[in-house]
Structure 1
Amino acid sequence: MAIQKHIKLLVQLLIVALAFGIANGQGLKLGFYQKTCPRAEGIVWRTTANHIYRAPSLAAALLRMHFHDCFVRGCDGSVLLNSTKNNVAEKDGIPNLSIRGFQVIDAAKTAVEAACPGVVSCSDILALVARDAIHQIKGPYWPVPLGRRDGRVSIASETLTQLPAPFANITQLKANFASKGLSVKDLAVLSGGHTVGISHCSTITTRIYNFTGKGDTDPSIDPNYVPKLKSRCVPNDKTTLLSMDPGSTKSFDSDYYSVVLKRRGLFQSDAELLNDKITRAYVKLQAQSHGRTFFQDFQKSMVKMGKIGVLTGKAGEIRRHCAVIN
């Protein structure tokens, strides 16, 4: 039964890959390590599964880590590097202080290094782990063409200029995604990743207590929802956790779009999806059709995102340890 399931998954992956036409893109290709480290993808899958089984909430964290890596200097594993005495790295930038799950990447890298020393990049491992983790919580499974190499530069200040902020408006969000080669539809689709995961009250206290500096509430929030948010988050609360998609925070589904349509999106950036005709139409489509095309769309957008600014060929390096350059 397990073998049949695995074969079915491989067939589905092949069909999706052919449909996307991404077998060779920007120097990346499916099965890149087939000859040099044929067990790599299986090792990463098993390592990820071991962690997700014990802590399913890590799936959202690992997806976020991959997103934050790709949006700063491209998908080069720079988010994994530690700061040094001469440099503050991305992981210590303000938007990344809440990132977690580095132990999963380190465990996968250790296991792969034991099988094939110096062959598989940390950036490829991160891309695979993010995909595997989401699929292991019943999310979509997308093809991950490989061949990324690891960057040697990681600068904390770049996280402030390159990552979309939770308080960004729709114009800023569209410009940010466009600068990465992603479309307005990709913005709507990838925002759906907020169907899983948590955030802190500190990200929304301004929205509910002092939106314009006059002690007011963001008018884009459903007024009937504000009392519930205030009951959870007091002013200056920096510790209380909130679900991005209440009631379905551990399940990868399309409920996020129903939440946004009800004007109950947690971030201002979620609410802003209703302020553009393309993103608004996508939100309505998924909310009203119960996510009819969401999984397929998410697969396609994740493949596109995974190609942002990749280093291939002789660029970059293959790190032996993901947190430090060779």
Structure 2
Amino acid sequence: MDLIIDLQKPTQKLTRNGLQSGGRRYDVPLGRRDGLVANQTGANLMLPAPFETLGNITRKFEAVGLNITDVVILSGAHTFGKASCATFRNRLFNFSGTNAPDSTLLDSSMVSVLQNLCPVNGDGRQTTALDWNSTENFDNHYFRNLVNGRGLLESDQVLYSSDEAISTTRSLVELYSKNWQIFLDDFKHSMVKLGNIQPLTGSSGEIRKNCRVVNS
């Protein structure tokens, strides 16, 4: 998405424009500070992994003030991007000790393609699109994939196919799979909430002169 900033007006909002790919324009407040240290271990504890249950994913979101609707909406960002074989190969051959692919992968042609792409003894670095058959547009195709058993990551498909989803997220997935406009409108609101998680205030953090390094 394009970033448009008027440096002469520091109090204005930053506008993200995803119109070229089909997204919505939305504003987020400027001024969030950068941290002074990097903590990959801490970040990994907070971020959902591709293999987690829906319950674990939901608890991680709730811990930072996001709700079950945000879980579904923000997962829709997987309409873009790629994943490596290492993040989903467990679903293709011997899922949970069954000696078979994950039963929620209902598209047999997709399973065959992915098995060829990601062999059992491969290095796991090969990648493929998260949004199967719709890689260039910001749309609701990701949710249609889930309904049809084509979610690439286990953490995607659990939003629709897990037992937990029946009473929590499945109805939202179905809603967004049918209504592109509602998804786009809800997505921009959840993105603003995401950007406002635990901002550094007071004397904490800094505004970096070079975003790659801490100020000297």
CA RMSD of aligned residues (A): 2.4
2:143 equivalent among 257, 261, 278: 257
Given that 1:257 and 1:287 are in contact with CA atoms closer than 8 Å, whether structure 2 keeps it comes out as: yes
TM-score normalized with structure 1 length: 0.58
Show the counterpart of 1:145: 29
Show the counterpart of 1:285: 175
Counterpart residue identity of residue 95, structure 2? F
Show the counterpart of 1:227: 112
Deviation at 1:137, TM superposition (A): 2.6
Show the counterpart of 2:199: 310
- Tell me the number of residue pairs that the alignment of Structure 1 and Structure 2 aligns: 205
Structure 1 unaligned runs (5+)?
1-32, 43-123
Structure 2 Cα separation of the partners of residues 201 and 258 of structure 1: 22
Q: Identity over aligned residues, as a percent?
A: 36
Structure number with the higher strand fraction is 2
SS of residue in 1 equivalent to 2:28: coil
Structure 2 Cα separation of the partners of residues 159 and 318 of structure 1: 20
SS of residue in 1 equivalent to 2:204: coil
Structure 2 Cα separation of the partners of residues 188 and 214 of structure 1: 28
Given that 2:132 and 2:152 are in contact with CA atoms closer than 8 Å, whether structure 1 keeps it comes out as: no
Deviation at 1:288, TM superposition (A): 2.4
SS of residue in 1 equivalent to 2:128: strand
Residues 203 and 281 of structure 1: CA distance in aligned 2, closer, same or farther (over 3 Å)? same
Show the counterpart of 1:239: 125
Counterpart residue identity of residue 105, structure 2? I
Residues 236 and 181 of structure 1: CA distance in aligned 2, closer, same or farther (over 3 Å)? farther
Structure 2 Cα separation of the partners of residues 282 and 303 of structure 1: 19
Given that 2:11 and 2:30 are in contact with CA atoms closer than 8 Å, whether structure 1 keeps it comes out as: no
Q: Does 1:201 align with 2:85?
A: yes
Structure 1 Cα separation of the partners of residues 22 and 10 of structure 2: 22
Counterpart residue identity of residue 36, structure 2? R
CA deviations on 1:55-81 (whole Å, 9 max, x unpaired) are xxxxxxxxxxxxxxxxxxxxxxxxxxx
Structure number with the higher helix fraction is 1
Structure 2 Cα separation of the partners of residues 144 and 240 of structure 1: 35
TM-score normalized with structure 2 length: 0.85
Structure 2 unaligned runs (5+)?
none
